[in-house]
Amino acid sequence: MLESMACGTPVVATAVNGSPEVVTKPVAGRIVAERSGQALAAAAEDILNDPPSPEAVRAYAEDFSWQATSLGQMALFNSILEARKNS
């Protein structure tokens, strides 16, 4: 998904694994709750009818750089350690 978005292409995915955490804004694509061809096709059609600009999609994907992701992980780990220290 991130490779697609980094190329400026929004995605359509089902709500499994990390998809909902990655696709959080319409510019990134669509998450469908129902795992069916009809739901996927409807989401793709929605994007095709009003596509975001490739530049906007690419900019969204840049928030998931290795540096940003690593900093987020470190913040999470530090908050867990701090919570354990205070309990």
Residue that the structure tokens 């009809």 belong to: 38
C-alpha 50 chain-centroid distance: 19
Closest CA to 65 of 19, 1, 2: 2
Token digits of residue 68 = 């940003």
| Among the ranges given (4-18, 25-39, 62-76), the one the predictor scored with the smallest mean pLDDT | 62-76
- For 18, which DSSP code? T
Predicted pLDDT of residue 66: 85
Res. 68: pLDDT tops 90: no
Averaged pLDDT for residues 2-30: 94
Give the chain's domain count.
1
Residue 33 CB partners (closer than 8 Å, separation 6+): 14, 15, 39
Which residue range is the domain that position 50 belongs to? 2-85
- pLDDT tens column, 24-44: 999 999 999 999 999 999 999
CATH code for the domain in which residue 73 is found: 3.40.50.2000
Above pLDDT 70, what percent of the chain? 100
